[in-house]
Amino acid sequence: MSKQNKAICADSLRNRILSLDLEAGSDIDEVGLSHEYGISRTPLREILHLLAGDGYVRLEENRGAKVASMDLSVMRVFFQTAPLVYCTVARQAAECRTSTQVAALKEIQRAFTASASRGEVGETALLNHRFHEQIGQMADNPYLMASLKRMLIDHTRLSQTFFNPRSKLDQNRISQSVDQHDAMISAIEGGEPSLAIDLTLQHWDLSRNEMEKYVRPDPLPIDVISMKDRLNAF
């Protein structure tokens, strides 16, 4: 199998994990994927080892591969750490950006805006991933970039909820997210690190509550609560 074909397969699996087509914590069917992609088990395992190194997959000895989980312990660390990393990345991006990098960020933003307006949930989430990854590239810090890439895996999976509006209020949040991206670009391009940090925190706060729904149970229906009250009366 050529390096190009391996890269195509790896990119496909990354996108399927980010879009939750391959569910968090699920077992990876190596036989099924081998047939689906028309490759043998050996190159597939090489690809899975690559994805494991990036944080998309977890390899367990004698138990095969699993998609990286998003259990409560993982999510706790994510919500504690993400704003720290994003703000530091934004600050350094505003200090280190180049005109070529800013142009690339604007191009991603144009695609993101168009996708959001069409209501393309999966595509919008992936473009949001690319937007924040590009800011990481602009920060020019390999230590931060490693942390950012790992966090973006979970952020993008969680953002499938954010970019799937169920009400007018949800749609307004998405529109506000688009506007915040534009403001972040202006701050980074203008070399304003303090402003970039403030905007990044606002952007994080906008999406945090929606993403937290992933780990919060849905409230009990009113009829169930009423039944519980009646039972407690006996």
Instruction: Look at residue 115 in the predicted model and tell me its pLDDT.
Output: 98
Q: What is the pLDDT along the chain (234 residues), one digit of tens a residue?
A: 667 788 899 999 999 999 999 999 999 999 999 999 989 989 999 999 999 999 999 998 878 899 999 988 889 999 999 999 999 999 999 999 999 999 999 999 999 999 999 999 999 999 999 999 999 999 999 999 999 999 999 999 999 989 999 899 999 999 999 999 999 999 999 999 999 999 999 999 998 877 776 555 455 555 544 544 544 554
Query: What residue type is assigned to position 1 of the chain?
Result: M
The H-assigned helical ranges of the chain are 3-18, 30-37, 41-54, 72-96, 99-118, 121-139, 142-162, 168-189, 193-212, 222-233
Query: Residues with Cβ < 8 Å from 208, sequence gap 6 or more?
Result: 79
Residue 68 to residue 60: CA distance in whole angstroms? 11
Instruction: Look at residue 228 in the predicted model and tell me its pLDDT.
Output: 44
Task: Count other Cβ atoms within 10 Å, centred on residue 88.
Answer: 18
Give the pTM: 0.86
Q: Domains of the chain, with CATH numbers?
A: 3-67 (1.10.10.10), 72-212 (1.20.120.530)
